[in-house]
Structure 1
Amino acid sequence: MLICHCNLITEKEIEATILELLDEDAWQLIVPAKVYHRLHKRGRCCGCFPNVVETIIRITEAYHSRSQAGGLDVVSHLDRVRGLRVQFGSKTYEGRQRNNRAA
């Protein structure tokens, strides 16, 4: 499935990159910019970033549930991250108010 239309990046490419990053350091913070940098791409319209974040969370959960680490701690932390996204991410778009027009 095509995730980023601007750069023609598929979901499989993003998943493989996330796994590479987790293999290097399982506890690093992975964000869309880090994934795109590893792919030698950059976010253009950044409309795909929410899907990339969901993919990062899904792959990270699966990675840590298969590892020897305490899976319950990882899942509870990722649930808190999801809660923060709902709490802070849905009120504004790119830091602008709804009634603000650029043009």
Structure 2
Amino acid sequence: MLVCHCNIITEKEIEAVIVELLESDCWQLIVPAKVYHTLNKRGRCCGCFPNVVETIIRVTENYHARSADAAGDVVSHLDRVRQLRDQFGSSRNEGRTTGHRAA
């Protein structure tokens, strides 16, 4: 599946980079900019970044679940991120207020 239309990057390429980064250091913080830097690309419109974040979380959880001794000790990061999005959501902070006038 094509994730980034600007750079023509597929989900498989992003997953491979994430696994590569996790194998070098399994507890590092992986962000979209690091993934794109590893691919020698840069975010242009950055509309794909939310999908890249979801992919990073999913692949990281699966990676740690496979390598963990006890599956119950693995924290579900995706659920925590979704909870924080619901709690602090960015949609209410974006855009102009109703009283804003351009002229």
In our comparison, the structure showing a higher alpha carbon Rg is 2
TM-score normalised according to structure 1 size: 0.81
Supply the AA of the counterpart residue of 2:44: R
Distance 1:58 1:5, change over 3 A: same
Larger mean CA deviation between 13-22 and 67-76 belongs to 67-76
SS at match of 1:3: strand
Supply the AA of the counterpart residue of 1:15: E
TM-score normalised according to structure 2 size: 0.81
Using the alignment, how far apart are the partners of 1:86 and 1:55 within structure 2? 19
Supply the AA of the counterpart residue of 1:55: T
Aligned length: 101
1:55-79 deviation digits (Å, cap 9, x = unpaired): 0011011101101355444324443
User: How much is the aligned-residue C-alpha RMSD, in angstroms?
Assistant: 2.4
Using the alignment, how far apart are the partners of 1:69 and 1:86 within structure 2? 31
Q: Percent identity?
A: 74
Distance 1:4 1:68, change over 3 A: same
Structure 1 spans left out of the alignment, 5+ residues: none
Match of 2:29 in 1: 29
